Structure 1
């Protein structure tokens, strides 16, 4: 049976690749602008996507706990493919909005379920201590896929900016058979508590009753929102430096390769610095990445982006591991979805504002403002986390 559950790991790799081999990411903002969207429109669109994820984030995580992680991942994979099909035939804000809503709902059924599936598969094999290493590897596979896609997407964009979206539909389809072949490690567990009140009880426990879980979730959410926010500034930032689309694709590739390689070493960095030291390093690294990128609106700023992505490679797997260590299996997907819920709520609030700020002032000042916001939020989270950990 252990061998069967071990088979979940390469299938989760396939789902991650299908999700992260994003041919569209190196050119998506340029694609929006070609179709008449302003920077405020772009971040408003992404803010609405976040709201779509938020609406179903916690319920979908809970469904993964009581209905089955496998079924949740299958539904998410199908919607992920459908969303890019809709994108391929859309030409304006309304069509893009429909695609984003479909992708948002699909993403909500995958987020939390994939990490919970990985952790509980390892738990069944009595290898749960390997989670941070395995999560780092899964993340690396995803970033390597995104890096390769950066080159491919930039090249395909020379045909047209729409071409990457058409081919992305076929890439996304790969996740569907991979999800069908998974074995749910919790398929035989009792699920008699299903209901809205039980969802609220888990949310209350994770954000109110358990102070340790609350502040681990808060820190992970702040950093998650920060990395998501910067991702949508990179293309216009590089375009502002008069870079060609092909050059932007290469830089996008190198940034994701950086995350991929660093993630493989995340468990060593965490082991050396310890929990609080690693958390402080992450907050300072992420916030200073924003501020210095905005301050040096030049090739030096591009260099700072690589430092930001270096820190990101450590932050994502490590902060997820902190949450998993103190979460029971029967609520794991729900708790991870609470984290993703907060990330999306924060982005839905901050993203459109920063987009408006960019349109009315400058991208540099918007980046420095964002860095200051995330430094305060992250710093407060670390202070309280240290208090409850001691």
Structure 2
């Protein structure tokens, strides 16, 4: 299918709009720095992300089951409104009282996790089933490729503007141009990227409201108790199917490992870039460069995901990820950006690979539920590594002086843990795969 044909399908068009606006957050280029400027510590930042992941773990699969029973559109719409509220909270929270700030960010992380889990699987299932009804489900990888390219194009603008909004020298010139007093530090600027994201959240609400869903047999006639019962039954049956289907189970296990490890690192990428002496203004150019790489390589990612034999695909991606984490642990200035770019490509390709194989193996009636299990496994891993890293960083930082911590020496030294963590779990999962595959072929 051509781009024009894809965009002519309303549900697919609004799915693309929803996904692109939902993740177009101007504070992402300076995510860690933003939290630190609000008065939180690096350990608190890591723990808040553990709480975010735990919220998704608790709500992910039930929300997927409710999407398959109550209706997928309802959950996508609810997700968009909750997203608006959680961003508004940090946009307007007063600073000065660190306990209050931490409490507000705690609620923000819970709401953010809930919003993420409500949309997870439901938006994708709406778009995929629309294609399937028209006999065009084979075009799904192309839709994902288009999504990557549009999201990356939007990402170029968001990262460049977001980083510029946080650069004191750039904003000082802009303030003086319009006759305002120049900001003295990043704390004077920290709310601006959040305000911009709040405006984009309105676009996500618009896209969610315009999605359409065919009524299912569950949607209109059943009582709440019957719907709840059907949702729970669907959750358990989908979970049983995932665990008893090695093909799906191993795809999810490998996906979770790749995704949660890299996401944990990339959540802190602004702190990493600052630690290797890259100016804040350049964060936007790095983000824009990443988006350009995504646009250029999206087609290669799709072809790899569709055509490469799964075992070879996972082995190559695993080796590339190990090399990337080892390179990151060296803390090289400038050249340290390259392994971060490699990780981005690996995540992009892995997401297409997983979505392609899962949707191909899953029946329509429980697609959102099964896709929610994918999110569940990722967030279990993300919560685990977040708690582990928060404890590990707090432990090793005791061996450094305040000056060394401020110079990010302790942070750079903590990054070697990512290499050891990923390598160990990759080898353990691969050993489990080898044992299972010897009895019965997993990937046929």
- CA distance in structure 2 between the aligned counterparts of 1:238 and 1:300, rounded to whole angstroms: 11
Name the counterpart of 1:377: 425
TM-score, with length taken from structure 2: 0.81
The equivalences for 1:192-211 within 5 A come to: 194-207=230-243, 209-211=244-246
Name the counterpart of 1:61: 64
Name the counterpart of 2:115: 106
Name the counterpart of 1:256: 291
- CA distance in structure 2 between the aligned counterparts of 1:148 and 1:321, rounded to whole angstroms: 28
Q: Which has the larger radius of gyration?
A: 2
**Structure 1 counterpart of 2:216, from 168, 181, 188:** 188
**Structure 2 counterpart of 1:125, from 118, 134, 159:** 134
Instruction: Name stretches of at least 5 consecutive residues in structure 2 with no aligned partner.
Output: 96-100, 172-188, 220-226, 398-409
Confirm or deny: 8 A CA contact 2:30 2:163 kept in the other structure: yes
Change (3 A) 1:367 1:189: farther
Question: Does the residue aligned with 1:300 lie in a helix, a strand or coil?
Answer: coil
**Structure 2 counterpart of 1:348, from 363, 383, 386:** 383
- Identify the range of structure 1 (311-320 vs 189-198) with the bigger mean alpha-carbon deviation: 189-198
Name the counterpart of 2:10: 7
Name the counterpart of 1:242: 277
Confirm or deny: 8 A CA contact 1:5 1:121 kept in the other structure: no
- Match status 1:136 vs 2:145: yes
Change (3 A) 1:223 1:189: farther
- CA distance in structure 1 between the aligned counterparts of 2:245 and 2:58, rounded to whole angstroms: 24
- Displacement of 1:5 after TM fit? 8.5
Confirm or deny: 8 A CA contact 2:276 2:336 kept in the other structure: no
- CA distance in structure 2 between the aligned counterparts of 1:292 and 1:235, rounded to whole angstroms: 17
- Displacement of 1:221 after TM fit? 1.6
Name the counterpart of 2:442: 388
- CA distance in structure 2 between the aligned counterparts of 1:261 and 1:315, rounded to whole angstroms: 16
- CA distance in structure 2 between the aligned counterparts of 1:5 and 1:337, rounded to whole angstroms: 27
Confirm or deny: 8 A CA contact 1:260 1:313 kept in the other structure: no
Instruction: Name stretches of at least 5 consecutive residues in structure 1 with no aligned partner.
Output: none
Confirm or deny: 8 A CA contact 1:81 1:173 kept in the other structure: yes
Deviation per CA, 1:15-37: give whole Å up to 9, x if none: 01211211010122111111222
- CA distance in structure 2 between the aligned counterparts of 1:324 and 1:284, rounded to whole angstroms: 26
Change (3 A) 1:261 1:306: same
- Match status 1:49 vs 2:52: yes
Give the count of matched residue pairs.
387
- CA distance in structure 2 between the aligned counterparts of 1:13 and 1:179, rounded to whole angstroms: 11
Confirm or deny: 8 A CA contact 2:6 2:12 kept in the other structure: no
- Displacement of 1:169 after TM fit? 0.9
Question: Does the residue aligned with 2:348 lie in a helix, a strand or coil?
Answer: helix
Name the counterpart of 2:186: none
- Identify the range of structure 1 (376-385 vs 210-219) with the bigger mean alpha-carbon deviation: 376-385
Name the counterpart of 1:155: 164
Confirm or deny: 8 A CA contact 1:27 1:249 kept in the other structure: no
**Structure 2 counterpart of 1:28, from 31, 37, 44:** 31
- CA distance in structure 2 between the aligned counterparts of 1:331 and 1:382, rounded to whole angstroms: 28
Name the counterpart of 1:338: 373
Cα root mean square deviation, aligned: 2.3
TM-score, with length taken from structure 1: 0.92
Change (3 A) 1:93 1:27: same
Change (3 A) 1:246 1:108: same
- CA distance in structure 1 between the aligned counterparts of 2:71 and 2:429, rounded to whole angstroms: 32
Deviation per CA, 1:147-172: give whole Å up to 9, x if none: 32111111222451111111211101
- Match status 1:83 vs 2:86: yes
- CA distance in structure 2 between the aligned counterparts of 1:271 and 1:333, rounded to whole angstroms: 21
- Match status 1:318 vs 2:353: yes
- CA distance in structure 2 between the aligned counterparts of 1:311 and 1:150, rounded to whole angstroms: 20
- CA distance in structure 2 between the aligned counterparts of 1:184 and 1:111, rounded to whole angstroms: 16
Deviation per CA, 1:84-142: give whole Å up to 9, x if none: 11110123211111112111111111111122222212111111111122122213322
Deviation per CA, 1:263-288: give whole Å up to 9, x if none: 23322223453222222222222232
**Structure 2 counterpart of 1:174, from 194, 200, 203:** 203
Change (3 A) 1:168 1:145: same
- Match status 1:306 vs 2:345: no
- CA distance in structure 1 between the aligned counterparts of 2:266 and 2:280, rounded to whole angstroms: 16
- Displacement of 1:351 after TM fit? 1.4
